[in-house]
Structure formats: C-alpha cells, structure tokens
Amino acid sequence: MIIGIGTDLANIERIAATLDRFGDRFRNRVFTEIEQRKAERRRDVAGTYAKRWAAKEACSKALGTGLRMGIAWKDMSVRNLHTGQPIMEVTGWAKKRLDDLTPPGHEAIIHVTLTDDHPWAQATVLIEARPK
C-alpha cells in the first residue's frame, strides 16, 4: 500500500547561486558527506545538488510533514546503488516519522526518482508499506 507520496521542483540556477554565496555553510547544513562527494565529482555540480534538494523536499512531503516537526535536512540522504539507481535513506526524526506511518506487520520501502532539464531539477518520492 502507498503510505506517502511527494514531489518537488528545484531551480538549478537558484541552487548554483546559493552554492556560490554560502559555499560550505550551505553544503554542510543540507547535504551529507556522501551527497557532497557525489555532487563534487560530477560535471553538473549544481544540478546534482538541486536533484538531491528536490528529493529531500519530496521525501518530507511524502512523510506528511514538509520540513517542519523536527525533520532535519540531513535526516534524509540520497545515495546511489552501483547500478546508478537513487535510493533515499532516513535517520533521526525522519526515520521515527516513517516508523510511525508504517502499519504493524509491514516494512516501509522508499522509492525515489530524480530528473533534470536545465534549469529545473525534479524528484518524486513514493513510500510503500509492504507486508513482511
């Protein structure tokens, strides 16, 4: 069953300007070390960050909270499987919220998809509860 869905659209140029203006302060506040390493080795650094920004926003919406109620940016992290498929990992308050949403006898699966077409980056997150 679907227990949450969220989507977000981010402007890559806005993220690039924020990176230029705030640099590491912005990176370290919003993105995990894994996300930063991924973005910094890509040709489109700002686009990579923008997709992850959108994924975090979409995940917070799928959790039914938006970025409030104690969810921190770094409580949600995008990484990639060896195939390149993005996955969302949650910790802290985001994990607690996910556990609270998941019905007894089920496990939560977070699906995430990312795309971009300059100047836009988009992410969709779907949270599924599967019987154990």
Q: Are 11 and 120 in contact (CB under 8 A)?
A: yes
Six-digit token string for 60: 């917070």
Whether CATH 3.90.470.20 fits 2-131: yes
Verdict on whether the full-model pTM lies above 0.85: yes
Q: Tokens 């650094």 label which residue?
A: 45
CB 131 within 8 A of CB 105: yes
CA gap 108, 119 in Å, rounded: 33
**Upper half-sphere CA count for residue 38 (Cβ side, 13 Å):** 19
Q: What kind and span of H or E run contains 14?
A: helix 12-22
Residues contributing to the annotated binding site for Mg(2+): 8, 57
Residues β-bridged to residue 6: 125
**pLDDT score for 66:** 76
E strands along 1-132, which residues?
A: 2-11, 76-80, 86-90, 106-117, 120-131
Residue 111 confidence (pLDDT): 98
Average pLDDT, consecutive stretches of 10 residues, N- to C-terminus, the chain (132 residues): 97 98 97 97 97 97 83 94 96 95 98 98 98 96
pLDDT of residue 57: 96
Q: What are the sequence ranges of the domains in the chain?
A: 2-131
What pLDDT does residue 25 have?
97
Instruction: Report pLDDT for 80.
Output: 95
How far is the C-alpha of 128 from the C-alpha of 29, rounded, in Å? 28
Closest CA to 3 of 98, 91, 82: 98
Please tell me the distance from the alpha carbon of residue 12 to that of residue 27, in angstroms, as a whole number: 15
